[in-house]
Amino acid sequence: MTVTPPPEILHAPLVVEFPFTRSLGPVQSAFLTGLRERTVLGVRTDAGEVLVPPVEYDPATAAELRELVEVGATGTVTTWAWNPEPRAGQPLTTPFAWVLVRLDGADTALLHALDAPGPEAVRTGLRVRIRWAAERSGAITDIACFEPYESGTAAETVPHTGEFDDPVTGIVAPARLDYTYSPGRAQTRYLHALAERRTVGERCPSCAKVYVPPRGACPTCGVATTDQVEVGPRGTVTTYCIVNIKAKNLDIEVPYVYAHIALDGAGLALHGRIAGIPYDEVRMGLRVEPVWSEDGRYPDHYRPTGEPDADYDTYKELL
């Protein structure tokens, strides 16, 4: 048992990226299809207010809303904020104003960007118009941004069926967030040891269980696991399954065996792939040892040691 100072904390880029696919209801579909056709639609509430952007249920009464009207492509800034450093994904790459714009004929405001030379050119009450994107697909980004437009006359609302050829019925909203993942002290120690082809667990000072891989806490006792214990390298298969479906981007022939392996000295089993033996000969109690990956940073899989099988009693508590 040793207590060593924490090594340098590891970091790695972590990218979370989803192309969220969302369906549209009748009002949102009409609105976004309308943007594709350079037509801005709002929805009228029972109280006679016109909501732009439109929603399918009245935010005040929850009544279903379906009465579409066309509003102007010009409007008035109701509030604004100057953005000196645009961030990734925002509508403009040069400094711009975020604006809430009440389009002519509407009673509520739409959030978007305003292209203006500087904050001195923006004020609440400024008249603006839509600058349409050159290529439009039926999305809020079909409005490229707003631009100042002092000479406009306010448009009246016009009833609209909301019907278009080839209506947009869904959107794909890609989202990407970039993180720098840091695993903390316990997992950093574990990963550094793996790179030296050692497997290090941590013992709970309260219940004495040895966790592999360690996460820094005993989930049973709720206390820090600070004592490091080298375990393995050999271990015992406690249970296993046979995988018959090939995973995407995984260069392993099926069927193969995925197993729980209790390394000698560990208080619980970790999981790993078993190779070096026909898949249908893997069994509970099989003694195995790690085979390190080519770059030597982690066990690629485990293979039989050739020892006699372990007695059930020696691992039954670790199932």
Partner 1 sequence: MTPHHRPAREVAIVAFAQSHHRRRTDDLSEVEMVMPVLHDVLRQTGLKASDIGFTCSGSSDYLAGRAFSFTMALDGVGAWPPISESHVETDGAWALYEAWVKLLTGEADTALVYSYGKSSPGSVRDVLTRQLDPYYLAPLWPDSVALAALQAQALVDAGHTDENALAAIAERSRTDAAANPHAQLPGTRPQGEYVVRPLRTGDCPPIGDGVAAVVLAAGDLARELCERPAWIRGMDHRIEAHSLGVRDLTDSPSTRLAAERAGAFDLPHGLKGMGGAPAVDTAELHAPFTSQEVVLAKALGLDASVRINPSGGALAANPVMAAGLIRLGEAAARIHRGASDRALAHATSGPCLQQNLVAVLEGDPRA
- Positions touching partner 1 (CB under 8 A) are 6, 9, 11, 14, 16, 20, 22, 24, 28, 32, 51-53, 55, 59-60, 78-84, 87-91, 98, 100, 102, 108-113, 119, 124, 139-141, 171, 173, 175, 177-187, 215-224
Are residues 242 and 255 in contact, defined by beta-carbon separation less than 8 angstroms? yes
190/240 with CB nearer partner 1: 190
96/315 with CB nearer partner 1: 96
Token pair belonging to 82? 């100057």
29/236 with CB nearer partner 1: 29
CA pair distance 41, 143, nearest whole angstrom: 13
Please calculate the CA angle 88-33-177 and round it to the nearest 5 degrees: 20
98/292 with CB nearer partner 1: 98
Is 87 strand, coil or helix? coil
The gap from C-alpha 110 to its chain's centroid, in whole angstroms, comes to 27
Rounded to a whole number of angstroms, the minimum distance from the CB of residue 83 to partner 1 is 5
Rounded to a whole number of angstroms, the minimum distance from the CB of residue 49 to partner 1 is 9
Rounded to a whole number of angstroms, the minimum distance from the CB of residue 81 to partner 1 is 3
CA pair distance 308, 240, nearest whole angstrom: 18
124/314 with CB nearer partner 1: 124
What burial letters (b/e) apply to 23-49, b meaning 16+ CB within 10 Å? ebeebbbbbbbbbbeebbbbbbbeeee
Q: What are phi and psi of 28, to 5 degrees?
A: -65, -40
Rounded to a whole number of angstroms, the minimum distance from the CB of residue 204 to partner 1 is 10
Kindly list the distances between the CA atom of residue 18 and the CA atoms of 14, 23, 28, 177, 258, in Å, as whole numbers in the listed order. 13, 16, 22, 9, 28
Are residues 80 and 114 in contact, defined by beta-carbon separation less than 8 angstroms? yes
101/259 with CB nearer partner 1: 101
Rounded to a whole number of angstroms, the minimum distance from the CB of residue 315 to partner 1 is 20
Residue 270 corresponds to which amino acid?
Answer: L
Kindly list the distances between the CA atom of residue 211 and the CA atoms of 155, 223, 266, 268, in Å, as whole numbers in the listed order. 70, 12, 6, 6
216/233 with CB nearer partner 1: 216
Rounded to a whole number of angstroms, the minimum distance from the CB of residue 138 to partner 1 is 11
Rounded to a whole number of angstroms, the minimum distance from the CB of residue 311 to partner 1 is 27
